[in-house]
Amino acid sequence: MKWCFALTLLTGLLLAQNVNYQQDAHWRAPQDAADKRNPLAEKPELSAGGKKLFTRHCVECHGPTGEGLKKAADLRLPAVQTQTDGTLFWKITNGNPDRGMPSFSSVPELQRWQLVLFLRTLKSDTAPK
Protein backbone atom coordinates (compact mmCIF):
# COMPACT_ATOMS: atom_id res chain seq x y z
CA MET A 1 0.00 0.00 0.00
CA LYS A 2 2.83 2.42 0.87
CA TRP A 3 4.60 1.78 -2.45
CA CYS A 4 1.39 2.60 -4.31
CA PHE A 5 1.16 5.96 -2.53
CA ALA A 6 4.84 6.67 -3.19
CA LEU A 7 4.45 5.78 -6.88
CA THR A 8 1.40 8.03 -7.19
CA LEU A 9 3.24 10.90 -5.49
CA LEU A 10 6.32 10.45 -7.67
CA THR A 11 4.23 10.31 -10.83
CA GLY A 12 2.42 13.49 -9.80
CA LEU A 13 5.68 15.30 -9.17
CA LEU A 14 7.13 14.22 -12.50
CA LEU A 15 4.03 15.35 -14.35
CA ALA A 16 4.07 18.68 -12.53
CA GLN A 17 7.76 19.37 -13.22
CA ASN A 18 8.29 22.30 -15.54
CA VAL A 19 10.49 20.66 -18.18
CA ASN A 20 9.75 23.44 -20.68
CA TYR A 21 10.88 26.30 -18.43
CA GLN A 22 12.51 29.18 -20.29
CA GLN A 23 14.45 31.75 -18.33
CA ASP A 24 13.15 35.35 -18.50
CA ALA A 25 15.89 37.18 -20.41
CA HIS A 26 14.63 40.54 -19.12
CA TRP A 27 14.84 39.60 -15.41
CA ARG A 28 18.35 40.77 -14.65
CA ALA A 29 19.83 42.11 -11.49
CA PRO A 30 21.49 45.52 -11.68
CA GLN A 31 25.28 45.15 -11.73
CA ASP A 32 25.75 46.49 -8.19
CA ALA A 33 23.27 43.90 -6.89
CA ALA A 34 24.84 41.09 -8.94
CA ASP A 35 28.26 41.97 -7.49
CA LYS A 36 27.09 41.70 -3.86
CA ARG A 37 28.86 38.98 -1.93
CA ASN A 38 27.01 36.63 0.37
CA PRO A 39 28.03 37.60 3.94
CA LEU A 40 27.37 33.97 4.94
CA ALA A 41 29.47 32.40 2.17
CA GLU A 42 32.07 31.15 4.66
CA LYS A 43 29.37 29.47 6.77
CA PRO A 44 27.89 26.74 4.53
CA GLU A 45 26.42 25.02 7.58
CA LEU A 46 23.83 27.81 7.65
CA SER A 47 22.30 26.35 4.48
CA ALA A 48 20.25 24.12 6.82
CA GLY A 49 18.34 27.22 7.88
CA GLY A 50 17.95 28.09 4.21
CA LYS A 51 16.44 24.66 3.60
CA LYS A 52 13.81 25.32 6.29
CA LEU A 53 12.99 28.66 4.66
CA PHE A 54 12.87 27.01 1.23
CA THR A 55 10.42 24.41 2.56
CA ARG A 56 8.25 27.15 4.05
CA HIS A 57 8.29 29.62 1.15
CA CYS A 58 9.45 27.97 -2.08
CA VAL A 59 8.49 24.28 -2.29
CA GLU A 60 4.96 24.98 -3.50
CA CYS A 61 6.29 26.30 -6.81
CA HIS A 62 9.85 25.01 -7.05
CA GLY A 63 9.29 21.53 -5.60
CA PRO A 64 11.13 19.81 -2.75
CA THR A 65 14.36 19.38 -4.74
CA GLY A 66 14.13 22.64 -6.70
CA GLU A 67 12.92 20.85 -9.85
CA GLY A 68 10.48 23.59 -10.79
CA LEU A 69 6.78 22.80 -10.56
CA LYS A 70 4.04 24.70 -12.35
CA LYS A 71 5.66 27.64 -14.17
CA ALA A 72 8.60 27.95 -11.78
CA ALA A 73 12.28 27.61 -12.62
CA ASP A 74 14.21 24.40 -12.12
CA LEU A 75 16.69 25.81 -9.63
CA ARG A 76 19.16 22.99 -10.29
CA LEU A 77 19.83 24.05 -13.89
CA PRO A 78 23.18 25.61 -14.83
CA ALA A 79 21.27 28.72 -15.99
CA VAL A 80 20.37 29.27 -12.33
CA GLN A 81 23.41 27.81 -10.60
CA THR A 82 25.88 29.94 -12.58
CA GLN A 83 24.24 33.18 -11.47
CA THR A 84 26.07 35.11 -8.78
CA ASP A 85 24.95 34.96 -5.17
CA GLY A 86 24.06 38.64 -5.45
CA THR A 87 21.84 37.97 -8.46
CA LEU A 88 19.99 35.15 -6.69
CA PHE A 89 19.59 37.34 -3.59
CA TRP A 90 18.23 40.18 -5.74
CA LYS A 91 15.76 37.85 -7.46
CA ILE A 92 14.55 36.42 -4.14
CA THR A 93 14.21 39.93 -2.75
CA ASN A 94 12.42 41.53 -5.71
CA GLY A 95 10.57 38.65 -7.30
CA ASN A 96 9.33 38.70 -10.88
CA PRO A 97 5.61 39.56 -10.98
CA ASP A 98 5.48 39.01 -14.75
CA ARG A 99 6.35 35.35 -14.17
CA GLY A 100 4.49 34.83 -10.88
CA MET A 101 7.55 34.93 -8.61
CA PRO A 102 6.64 36.87 -5.48
CA SER A 103 8.98 39.23 -3.67
CA PHE A 104 10.41 37.91 -0.43
CA SER A 105 11.68 41.29 0.74
CA SER A 106 9.74 40.81 3.99
CA VAL A 107 12.00 37.86 4.89
CA PRO A 108 14.92 39.19 6.95
CA GLU A 109 18.06 39.86 4.89
CA LEU A 110 20.29 37.22 6.49
CA GLN A 111 17.58 34.61 5.98
CA ARG A 112 17.46 35.49 2.27
CA TRP A 113 21.23 34.94 2.15
CA GLN A 114 20.64 31.56 3.85
CA LEU A 115 18.23 30.74 1.03
CA VAL A 116 21.01 31.49 -1.45
CA LEU A 117 23.31 29.13 0.48
CA PHE A 118 20.68 26.42 0.25
CA LEU A 119 20.11 26.98 -3.48
CA ARG A 120 23.80 26.24 -3.99
CA THR A 121 23.25 22.75 -2.56
CA LEU A 122 20.65 21.81 -5.18
CA LYS A 123 21.94 19.44 -7.83
CA SER A 124 20.32 18.09 -10.96
CA ASP A 125 20.01 14.33 -11.37
CA THR A 126 21.19 14.78 -14.94
CA ALA A 127 24.17 17.00 -14.13
CA PRO A 128 27.61 15.55 -14.83
CA LYS A 129 29.25 14.22 -11.69
Name residue 115's amino acid.
L
What letter would DSSP give residue 77?
Answer: S
Judge contact between 38 and 46, C-beta under 8 A: no
For position 23, what pLDDT does the model report?
64
- pLDDT, one tens digit per residue, over 25-77 is 778 999 999 999 999 999 999 999 999 999 999 999 999 999 998 789 999 99
The number of CA neighbours under 13 Å toward the Cβ of 50 is 24
Q: What is the pTM of this model?
A: 0.79
2-119: CATH topology? Cytochrome Bc1 Complex; Chain D, domain 2 (1.10.760)
User: Which residues are within 8 A (CB) of 34 and not within 5 positions of it... i.e. 6 or more apart?
Assistant: 28, 83, 84, 86, 87, 90
Residue, of 102 and 22, whose pLDDT is higher? 102
